[in-house]
A and B are shown apart, each in its own frame.
Chain A
Amino acid sequence: MAATEQTIEQVKNLAEGKYKYGFFTDIESETAPKGLSEDIVRFISAKKGEPEWLLEWRLKAYRHWLTMDEPDWAKLHYPPIDYQDSYYYSAPKTTAGPKSLDEVDPELLKTYEKLGIPLKEQAILAGVEGAGDSPSIAVDAVFDSVSVATTFKKKLEEKGIVFCSISEAVKTHPDLVRQYLGTVVPYSDNYFATLNCAVFTDGSFVYIPKGVRCPMELSTYFRINAKNTGQFERTLIIADEGSYVSYLEGCTAPQRDENQLHAAVVELVALDDATIKYSTVQNWYPGDENGKGGIYNFVTKRAACRGRNSKVSWTQVETGSAITWKYPSCILQGDNSVGEFYSVAITNNMQQADTGTKMIHIGKNTRSTIISKGISAGRAQNTYRGLVRILPKAQNARNFTQCDSLLIGDKCGAHTVPYIESRNRTARVEHEATTAKISEDQLFYCRQRGLKEEDAVGLIVNGFCKEVLKELPMEFAVEAQKLVAISLEGSVG
């Protein structure tokens, strides 16, 4: 009640033009009210103590966003999103979290158990009150400790690698951020990316100096001072000449979030002879079997292979979210640059995924490979949507695309929508697509050898995804295999 009164008071004050930052006199306030406005954008920026240029950029994006329409070309169906009904900064708990693990959905706990997540961890992931007062501690706990993280940080510093939150980078490396932010995904790019520009709260920043090979996989798990940045995450990775980095995003444990709308932006920049490997495991809450709840995940991920011989490799395992709208792309600008996209997208029950990639060949001898594995079960819909564009100067460009779909049951759907535009005669583009079903014979064979039906499905699907899963870093691959099996539980029989 008091909070509402306070808000009314503040709105009144605002109308009278009393406050520089709109609603808030108190910058210490932890929350902004529901809804989106220029004032909210200013508030977020002020909260973070951002420089003027960044605020201006956010505002420019916001104003542009107001003129845009939500895209409707994807094969996705969901009720209209009320953008004024969301919190854009540090959403307060609308409902109290569970008091202990006893109050947590037993299905969720079962899944944690199967993934082998320790109890303390489970409590944090399930959002039990007080289990992890700071989420950064939670993620540290995954790998047992702050000390591991600290050791890592020291090692990285020795090499001159910057790995921190993007808010921190704005303060410590303003020139780098200003030079690259929004250069791969411009503020006006698309509805969701533009929204992200206006209201992004945090994310990761990575800079690998010239000639440095990052000595370890960089994971959001290890990011010092990682905050709960789920909703509007913004990541920027710059690999300078001749450098190499492998970056891991996400978590195999199912994550719940009260915010239904997620709109992240990831920008990668690879300069001459640089390589970036970006791996994602996405397992946000998919909603229940009737499609109630679940995260809407509208992500813009793009890489600029700016330098000669640069290479970017995207690997993704998408098993979560009610709606996935995501096309990690490569702009192959530098001569001889290479783009790769390896994807597993699993949809079960009422989940919908419209995902794929764009490979834009600009430079000479540019090459791209696309391997997409879509698995659909229940009443789910799974669409691969990919664009291969060869521009006139891309002499000898090469693309190979393989899209395989696997159906489990007969109520789900798989769709392949490849767009190929070639404007150079020397270019070669190959596209292969298959659709298969898990056959009764395969299931019978596996079960005759002693496997439970569910495990048989897991095994067969893992086999189907093998080409993609083997691209994941070792520590991720094992977890991802388990996840693949678990996401399809209840899909047969």
Chain B
Amino acid sequence: MSLIEIKNLHATVDGKAILKGVDLTINAGEVHAIMGPNGAGKSTLSYVLAGREGYEITEGSVTFDGQDLLSMEIEERAAAGLFLAFQYPVEIPGVSNTTFLKEALNAIRKTRGETPLDAMQFLKLIRAKAKDLSMNDEMIKRAVNVGFSGGEKKRNEALQMAVLQPKLAILDETDSGLDIDALKIVAEGVNRLRGPERGMLVITHYQRLLDYIVPDVVHVLANGRIVKSGGKELALELEAKGYAEFGVTEAA
């Protein structure tokens, strides 16, 4: 069964067309990768799926887990199991990672009609997940992303994903900024989440990440459309030849 089905999606920002007919279907259990030149619309696609304001959907539809995604509020999409690891994670001064994630998880649980976790239960959970990602206690007590290095921020996104256990995780360049060891650790975290009910959309510029998170399908997004799809060998091919070989001219 398809987890998410994007059909002919068109979106504009400030009157400028960015997505120009994206078609993409991810089935439960699959990992898809999206590659493509700077400015192609990869982040835009992830924002539109997450429901960020400021984008006008001019055409197309998205069905997520049987629901009309585009008619849902941002937090409803999150509760339905959609997670976006941000390309540029946001800082929230004065709010500890623990508080933030506990509030988030319990908000989602509440929407799903599940009982909230108490402070002790939650602490146990977050500590275990942090340990998996080699994050120490000090890190989970600190204010969300405040003063975090680029790599630490990305690792923090991975921690949030591990705690929230989404059905569909969209990772927007989670690998950029990570050192080699961190890349492995985060990739392992992502792989732990893989399962028959879950799907992933991994946006990256580098084939290297796909050595660790092996995708089922690789897509090339250029000029607001998916111009080519293939198996994991497509990533290697792209790395060797660049986008021009695929009839893609650099976006302005």
Contact = CB atoms under 8 A, between A and B. Distances in A.
Interface of A: 439-442, 444-453, 455, 459-460, 462-467
Contact of A449 (B51, B53, B100, B111): B100
Given A448-B84, A450-B107, A455-B107, A462 B94 contact: yes
Interface string B83-99: 11010011111110001
A449 B164 contact: yes
Contacts of B53: 440, 444
Interface centre among B54, B74, B93, B143 (most CB of A within 10 A): B74
B233 interface: no
A463 B104 contact: no
A451 B94 contact: no
B75 interface: yes
Contacts of A444: 50, 52-53, 74, 90
A493 B160 CA distance: 26
B: contact size bracket: 20 to 34
A450 B108 contact: yes
B105 interface: yes
Contacts of A447: 51, 73-75, 78
Q: Is the interface of A mostly helix, strand, loop or mixed?
A: helix
A79 B93 CA distance: 39
A450 B164 contact: yes
A464 B160 contact: no
B45 to A, nearest CB: 15
B94 A466 contact: yes
B9 to A, nearest CB: 19
B25 to A, nearest CB: 22
B166 to A, nearest CB: 10
B133 interface: no
A486 to B, nearest CB: 15
A17 B95 CA distance: 67
B52 to A, nearest CB: 5
Contacts of A460: 92, 95
B103 interface: yes
A445 B86 contact: yes
A449 B104 CA distance: 6
B153 to A, nearest CB: 12
B79 interface: yes
Contacts of B107: 450-452, 455
Nearest to B160: A449
Nearest to B52: A444
A40 B99 CA distance: 54
B94 A455 contact: no
In order of increasing CB-CB distance, the 7 nearest A-B pairs are A463-B94, A463-B95, A449-B104, A466-B94, A450-B108, A447-B74, A445-B90
B95 A462 contact: yes
B89 A445 contact: yes
Given A445-B89, A459-B100, A450 B95 contact: no
Nearest to A444: B52
A467 B91 CA distance: 17
8 contacts: A440-B54, A442-B90, A444-B50, A448-B78, A449-B78, A449-B160, A459-B95, A467-B94
Contact of B99 (A442, A452, A453, A459): A459
Contacts of B52: 444
Interface in B36-91: 50-54, 73-75, 77-79, 83-84, 86, 89-91
A447 B74 CA distance: 6
B99 A450 contact: no
Contacts of A445: 86, 89-90, 92
Nearest to A438: B92
Given A447-B51, A448-B75, A451-B107, 16 more contacts: A442-B90, A442-B92, A444-B90, A445-B92, A446-B100, A446-B104, A447-B78, A448-B51, A449-B104, A450-B104, A450-B107, A452-B107, A459-B99, A459-B100, A464-B94, A465-B94
Contacts of A462: 94-95
A447 B50 CA distance: 9
A239 B248 CA distance: 78
A460 B50 CA distance: 20
Given A440-B53, A463-B143, A455 B92 contact: no
Contacts of A442: 90-92
Contacts of B105: 450
A15 to B, nearest CB: 64
B79 A450 contact: yes
Contacts of B75: 447-448, 450-453
A460 B90 CA distance: 12
B186 to A, nearest CB: 18
A475 B187 CA distance: 43
Contacts of B91: 442
A463 B79 CA distance: 24
Nearest to B96: A463
Interface centre among B54, B79, B94 (most CB of A within 10 A): B94
A444 B88 CA distance: 12
Contact of A448 (B50, B95, B101): B50
A379 B77 CA distance: 32
Contact of A441 (B73, B90, B103): B90
A186 B187 CA distance: 69
A463 B104 CA distance: 15
Nearest to A461: B94
Interface centre among A446, A459, A467 (most CB of B within 10 A): A446
A467 B79 CA distance: 32
A450 B111 contact: yes
Nearest to A441: B90
A441 B73 CA distance: 16
A449 B52 CA distance: 12
B113 to A, nearest CB: 14
B92 A459 contact: yes
A448 B103 CA distance: 12
A198 B251 CA distance: 77
Nearest to A466: B94
A468 to B, nearest CB: 10
A452 B76 CA distance: 9
A279 to B, nearest CB: 19
B154 to A, nearest CB: 14
Nearest to A447: B74
